[in-house]
Amino acid sequence: MITLKEALTKSKEEMVALRVELEAKAKASELNAYVGFESSGEGVPILIKDNIQVKDWSVTSASKILQGYIAPYEATAITNLKAHGMMAFGRANMDEFAMGSTTESSFYGPTKNPHGTDRVPGGSSGGSAAAVAAGIAIAALGSDTGGSIRQPAAYCGVVGMKPTYGRVSRFGLAAYASSLDQIGPIAQNVEDAAILYDAIKGHDAKDSTSAAFENEDIVSTLNPDVKLTIALIDNYISEADSDIQKAYAQTVEALKAAGHTIVHKNMQNTKYDIATYYILATAEAATNLARFDGVRYGIRAEAKNTEELFYNTRSEGFGEEVKRRILLGNFVLSSGYYDAYYVKAQKVRHLIRDEFNAIFEEADLILSPVAPSVAPKIGSIHSPLEMYKSDMYTIAINLAGLPAISLPVAKNEEGMPVGLQLIAKAFNEKTLFDGAASMEKAVKYQK
């Protein structure tokens, strides 16, 4: 597959031919990575997760409740893409409203992993990652609330990057948890991810959480020969399975050989990260999804009165996982439980951020697993708690608002990719990408 860097040098006619080729390959594929083939503008085609608004497109967040909804406006990330020689092309499958780790909650059915079609591609940006890995998309946009870019990138053997909270505008992104959500790139390699990140980042007056920082150009100064201090969280790796531990140890040796300094640290048990995240994320989800009521967007159920309209529409329109998270969110926000759960979780969130900041006083980056195992088989996760535990290594980064990038580093004996992530201090994407380029060069991952 042509890289994003290469595609940006091609002529308009070549790009038209490439879009035709990609659409034909995607339609012939059995992965179910695309759920629509709309296109917008001219330029290099970039696959768009189905929760990012593209004007005049059907955008459904992979939910029944939004069937028939046509986006009346454009996300800032899409506007920025177009200003950098790219275009929105195709809607990527995802977990419904980004609530899931496998894409199995999608209204359109699950996406399959191209490295093993009996495996999940991860979630919630599973369609974006699977398409890039399968060569039916040059690159893609996803969104990351608790690992939804990095985890599918790790499962599918591609690069996925979550920016610092506020670096990329959330205007036009369907809100799941507004204090955690970020749009980011999924690409074939670190350089392509940097190109896509450079294109979509920047301050946006339409997003009140957008950071007004000077935006340095990453890709033009990408330095794979940088020498950094990289921290390992020793008590984290013991919770991963043997495939992840083996790849982790090999990667650490490769980083040492490349001249990086390794230091050892510990952090609080990941169970506190999981509990904190699923209190705060579900609370925000319950609030954000209250707008889907059968009146303003999507489908409307049969009803005799307003109360019945709301009840029937939401009961019929939302899937089981979305309903579960709405119920959890309403519970932790309810009278008598708000202080016991929500307020306490906010305090723990600050402790998590402080832990990271203390490590960054001595280290430039942190190396961590992305998931505790390689991609599981479709249908093998039988309880919500099993799925929630698969996020144990990614959610703390969102709680702290930090940038992180997942890179493929190895394959297990069954040929399934193993990904690891680098984490950087807030607004230090330059160091993050330099470290990622160095790690990519050091591990020499074979696709």
pLDDT in tens, 244-301: 999 999 999 999 999 999 999 999 888 899 999 999 999 999 999 999 988 888 889 9
Distant-in-sequence, close-in-space partners of 56: CB < 8 Å, separation ≥ 6: 38, 40, 70, 71
Exposed, middle or buried, 287 (CB in 10 Å: 0-12/13-18/19+)?
middle
In-domain check, residue 278: no
In-domain check, residue 151: yes
What is the reported pLDDT for 294?
86
- Angle among Cα 128, 133, 139 to the nearest 5 degrees reads 55
In-domain check, residue 364: yes
In-domain check, residue 301: no
Distant-in-sequence, close-in-space partners of 229: CB < 8 Å, separation ≥ 6: 260, 261, 262, 263, 362, 363, 364, 365
pLDDT in tens, 350-406: 999 999 999 999 999 999 999 999 999 999 998 888 899 899 999 999 999 999 999
The answer to whether 75 touches 54, Cβ cutoff 8 Å, is yes
Specify the number of domains making up the chain: 1
Q: How far apart are CA 326 and CA 291, in angstroms?
A: 12
Exposed, middle or buried, 299 (CB in 10 Å: 0-12/13-18/19+)?
middle
The length of the chain in residues reads: 447
CATH number, position 417: 3.90.1300.10
Using alpha carbons, select from 388, 79, 368, 428 the residue that is nearest to residue 235: 368
Mind telling me the catalytic residues? Answer: 49, 124, 148
What is the reported pLDDT for 447?
84
Q: Which two tokens stand for residue 315?
A: 């009961």
pTM: 0.97
In-domain check, residue 54: yes
User: How do 140-144 and 365-369 pair as beta strands?
Assistant: unpaired
Q: How many CB atoms lie within 10 A of CB 132?
A: 32
Domain that residue 25 falls in: 4-267+353-443
In-domain check, residue 149: yes
- Asked if residue 124 has a cis previous peptide bond (ω within 30° of 0), the answer is yes
For the chain, the straight-line distance linking the first and the last C-alpha, in angstroms and rounded, comes to: 12
Q: Which two tokens stand for residue 106?
A: 């999608």
Using alpha carbons, select from 365, 348, 374 the residue that is nearest to residue 405: 365
Bridge partners, residue 143, by sequence: 183
In-domain check, residue 384: yes
Which segments of 319-428 does DSSP mark as H helices, in order?
Answer: 320-333, 344-360, 384-389, 395-400
Low-confidence stretches of the chain (pLDDT beneath 70): none
In-domain check, residue 312: no
